[in-house]
Every structure is written in structure tokens, then in C-alpha cells.
Amino acid sequence: MSARPETRRLTTRDIGAMRRRGEAVAMLTAYDHVMAGLVDAAGVEIVLVGDSLGNVVLGHETTVPVTLDDMIRHGAAVVRGTSRAMVVVDLPFGTATDPDTALRAGIRVMQESLCQGVKIEGGASVAPIVRRLTEQGIPVVGHIGLTPQAVHQLGGYYRHGKTAPAAQALIDAALALQDAGAFALVLEMVVPEVAAEITGLLDIPTIGIGSGEGCAGQVLVVNDLLGLNTSPAPSFARPRANLAEIIDKAVRAYVGEVKATRFAATPAPEAARKGRKGPALV
């Protein structure tokens, strides 16, 4: 039996080097041990344990109900399933409201899941939070544009940066987060031209989702990539498979096989029931 080859987990330095040499960063979400192992083996550089697990796994309408314990539990499962990819875990709603609260949450996530970084949603206002975490040794990915945790305040899901002031606010936020120490920045549902401009201004990689091809990397919810949904994927997601259809066919075939099984449907004969010994009584 041959020995398994040694693998080294990617680091923030590796991700930064990819940006400097113009190599795009591939990021996918995963929420469990098996999926994490599959995407890791397929060559993804960063596995994101997104709080999108609230929608994808737990069945919530938004990410707001997701708790820190949820993220730690799923994050630990993903870390156990990977050996090469860097694992980043979202800090969920309400856990990064100020530097001290975020630091406590970040420490818990890092220690209990053994991940290699966290992701925080928000613009320039969260820069002091990012700085506090990075100063304490916690790698941080920023996240601007559409920030799902703020969906109720935003009033829905839509593309960001459509006006000159909105675009400038995104640019200012990106620069502030980089200055605070973020090693990468997710741009979600940002006008592609604005996303490309931000990418050109930053030294750290931008990782787009629904923000065009001008970013330094891309991320998708793995279920959207694989067609593993019970509802339509977002318009910007192009499924590369249709696992929902495959699963449906497999389960229907299994149900048909089970239903085709024949067994005695009548009660056991009276004699057999009388001869059966019951539980011993004291």
C-alpha cells in the first residue's frame, strides 16, 4: 500500500502570491465533511464555510438566524474534510458588531473549528474590526457590495455600485479594508465595471460573485455550481451539473424497487402468536 503524499495547506501568503502573478483564485462554499473533501481534491484554493448554510442547509429564508455555534460546527467538519485548501469561516449576524465582540467570536471560530481565517461583511465602518482581528493574528476576508446579513436594512437583493456615489463608496470601503489588513475581498453583486476598477486599485485579490469576470478570483455556493437545489439558482450562477435530477432519478428508482418487494401482509397465525414468549415478568 503506497503512502499518501504529503500535502501542505495553502496560506494567506500563497493567496497573495497568486494575486501578484495574476493567477485567479478559485473559492467555493462547503458545509460538510464530504463536500469539503471533494472540492478540496478538485483544486479549489479557498473553501468558504459561508453563513449561506442558513439558506442552503438549514432552510432559512435569510442568513440572519445562523448562529456562531452553527458556523463552528460546520466549519470544523469542513476542516476535517480538507488537507490543501485554506478554510475560511463566516462570522454570522451579530457577532462582529464591534472590535471586542468580533475578536471573541473570531477566537472561538479559530480555536474550535481549526479554520485558517474568517470572513466579515461590511464596508468602511468595519475596518476597525478587521484591524483588531488581524492585529491578533486572525486572517480576515472582507465582503462588500451585497451583504446578505444586512438584507432587511438593504431592502432586498440587488446589484450595487450603479451610481457614481455608490461606486465611490465601494472603492473607499475596499481601500479601507485592505489598509486594515484584510488579505482578500469578496465583491458580491457589484457592477462589473466597478468591480474591475476596485480590482485594479487593490494589491489583495478580489473574489467576485455576480460581479463580472474582472475580479482576481471567483466564488460560488457549491449547490448552485452543481445544480443541487430545490429552487432556481441565482441568475449569475451557471450550474455545471444537475445533481438534483440525478438524485431524483436514483431515489425514484429505489422507491420503485422497494415497492416491488412482496411480503406477507396478513397477521401471523393465531397459534404462532400464542406460542411466542413475551418479556419475563418479575
pLDDT at residue 263, as a whole number: 78
Query: Residue 97 to residues 94, 120, 133, 173: CA-CA distances in angstroms?
Result: 6, 10, 13, 17
The string of pLDDT tens digits covering residues 7-63 is: 799 999 999 999 999 999 999 999 999 999 999 999 999 999 999 999 999 999 999
- What length does the chain have? 282
The string of pLDDT tens digits covering residues 101-121 is: 999 999 999 999 999 999 999
Question: CB of 10 within 8 A of CB of 86?
Answer: yes
Which residues sit in the known binding site for 3-methyl-2-oxobutanoate?
Answer: 51-52, 90, 119
Tally Cβ neighbours within 10 Å of residue 244: 16
Give the active site residue among 61, 135, 188, 213: 188
Which residues sit in the known binding site for Mg(2+)?
Answer: 51, 90, 121
Which residues sit in the known binding site?
Answer: 51-52, 90, 119, 121
Cell matching residue 31: 458545509
Identity at 242, one-letter amino acid code? N
CA end-to-end span of the chain: 57
Question: CA 112, 87, 140, 152 torsion: positive or negative?
Answer: negative
- Check if 270 is active-site: no
Predicted confidence band of residue 166 (pLDDT cuts 50, 70, 90)? very high
This prediction's pTM? 0.90
The string of pLDDT tens digits covering residues 172-231 is: 999 999 999 999 999 999 999 999 999 999 999 999 999 999 999 999 999 999 999 988
pLDDT at residue 1, as a whole number: 41
Percent of the chain topping pLDDT 70 = 91
How do the domains of the chain map onto residue ranges? 12-245
Closest by Cα among 207, 276, 258, 203 to 28: 207
- Name the CATH architecture for the domain at 12-245: Alpha-Beta Barrel (3.20)
